[in-house]
Each structure stands twice: as C-alpha cells, then as structure tokens.
Amino acid sequence: MSGSFTREADGLSKVRHPNLVCLFGYCDDGSDQYLVYEYCANGNLAQNLLRSDSVLSWPTRVKILRDCASVLRFLHTHSDGCIVHRDIKLTNILLTEDMEPKLSDFGLAKMLQMEETKVFTDVRGTIGYMDPEYITHSKLTCASDIYSFGVVVLQLLSGRKVIELDIVARDSLTKKAKDVVTGKKPLDEFIDSRVRDEVNIEDFVLILKIGVLCVAHSSVGRPTIKDVYEEMDKAWRNTNTKFVTKSSSSI
C-alpha cells in the first residue's frame, strides 16, 4: 500500500461531522486500494433534483443547503487547518434514507495549514463548479469552495436540470441570478416551478442573495463560510417555523 494512500485514509478517518460521509476504513488487495464509506440510500442530490416521480420540497432544499454550509464551516475552520474540498457539486452531496445530506468524495481535498493560499500545478475539480481564480491562477483558498457551493445554491433554487455544468451553463445560471437580484429580471423567472407554491419569498430572496455573493468572480467579494452558514441557518429556521405552522393549521 502506498504511503500517500495510507496517510490520506488515516487523515480522512479522523475528520468526522454529521453531514460528512463517514469513512469506515480502507482495504488493499494487492493491486487495488479501496476506501469504504457509509451507504447513503437516496443517492446524490443531482439524481433527486432530476427525478420525475417526486420533487424535493422547498423545506428539504433549504435544510440541505443549511446542513451543507454547516459541514463546510466545520472543514474550513478545522483545528488542524482549513480543509478545502475542491469538488463541491450536486453529485458529491449524498442523501440518506431520511434525506440528510452528506458531503462526499474527498479524493481532491487539500488541507491548507497556516497559509491562506496555496498554488497547485494540478488544477483539479469539475469545471462548471470551479472558482475562476483557481482555474486562472491555480490559487486554492477556502473561497474556492464558497464559489462551488454558490453554484449548488443557485441550482437548488432554480431547479436547473443539469448534472455536470460546463462553463457556458454556469455563466448562464449565475448571470440570470445576478440579473434577478439587481432587478433586471423578475424573481419568478428563477424559482423552480415545481416548488413555487411552497416557497416563502423572503427566504428565497435571502438565499438567492447569498448564492450570488458566493459566485462573485473575485474571492475578495465572497462571504466567509461562517457568514454563509448564519444566513442559511436563519433561512432554515424561518422556513421550518412557517412550514410547521402551516402544517398544524391544516390539520
């Protein structure tokens, strides 16, 4: 077994969070090496967003975003250094039987020690979710994950039926979101029609504005993960309260 594989497996096994896919262990059969993770019965977020037989409810979407922000806050403020995932996208967010999100695929994760920025010769990730600064200058920061998360936010809000975004699709999505926030386009154009009747406009606008800030072209304009989590948690608490109240009144 290679030393790098062993170190990676040992390191990942110590990183635990309720919204992080748990690494149970690893095995080596001689020529191949395997990481053994927990099973998530409901597949990934892309599959669920694309399903024709069911729809991700508005409260579920908000909770998924809040929980994903929670695990990113944990990674970015880790005691051993900022852990940058490098490949946040719909297919790397798995869902349990209870629809709890679990961030997965740490094959590209990097831990940044005391430095805020590191330059890598190998720019890796999924192109439609990648930080433009990282693509152009190979500079990896916590803000790189913020950008990717922002794209996920905009996909969940709009219901955009694209699993793997390319740069053209990403730019179309982010431009439309920015146009809605600045009033150039009506808000209704960005709301996934399948959940329009459930959406609380106040919470939708709050999350949309955070998403747009996250996909700022320059990392300087992006919020920290602490700020993102606080806003997502605010939206979730508000959405949950209104959803519970509405459900109780209909009984």
Alpha helices in 77-200 (DSSP H): 132-137, 142-158, 167-181
Q: Which two tokens stand for residue 235?
A: 């939206």
Q: Tell me the pTM.
A: 0.87
Catalytic residues: 87
Q: What is the reported pLDDT for 161?
A: 63
Q: What is the reported pLDDT for 110?
A: 64
What domains lie within the chain, and their CATH numbers?
Answer: 40-246 (1.10.510.10)
Q: Which two tokens stand for residue 232?
A: 């997502």
CA distance 84 to 187: 32
Mean pLDDT by 10 residues, the chain (251 residues): 64 81 79 83 93 92 98 88 86 95 75 48 70 81 93 93 75 95 96 93 97 95 96 95 64 50
Amino acid at site 153: V
